[in-house]
Amino acid sequence: MKIMFCYDGSEISQKALAKTLEYFKAMKPNILLVTVAEQPLDASMENEALFEEVEKKKHFELRKQAEWVAEQGFEVDVVMAVGDAREMLIETVNRKDPDIVVIGRRGVSEMKRMLLGSVSAYLVRHAERPVLVMTLERS
């Protein structure tokens, strides 16, 4: 079994990853950690420099989480994508062919969700795989 876990570095994402490992431990799945660095809309030098910092930080966090997952006894692989999170996650689903996609999301009000949309809602609508959305509250 291969689980694609969408990791954004947030506290919610870390909690959802821990729950995922707990829930699926008996199946001994391979874990594919995926994170996306979104490029700035403005290509100014300042934004490019800021993007490079964010990309480095995301890569570091992704590797750190991968090491933690491996310490828990799971086979783990990572994907670092650059672009629109929704598009990059769907592209990764299509390319890596996981059995299930897992994503954590913040517990926000229905109105806020309608106004902002969400990556998790997009995955549910467009991924041609089962998607498990974990709604968790921050501590």
Q: Looking at residue 136, what is its pLDDT?
A: 77
- What is the pTM assigned to this prediction? 0.86
| Mean pLDDT along residues 16-28 | 96
Q: Please give the pLDDT value at position 37.
A: 87
Range of 12's domain? 2-136
pLDDT in the model for residue 42? 61
Are the CB atoms for 60 and 106 separated by under 8 Å?
Answer: no
Domain count, the chain: 1
CATH number of the domain enclosing 117: 3.40.50.620
Band of residue 53 on the pLDDT scale cut at 50, 70, 90: confident
pLDDT above 50 for 47 = yes
Cα–Cα distance, 29 to 74 (Å, whole number)? 7
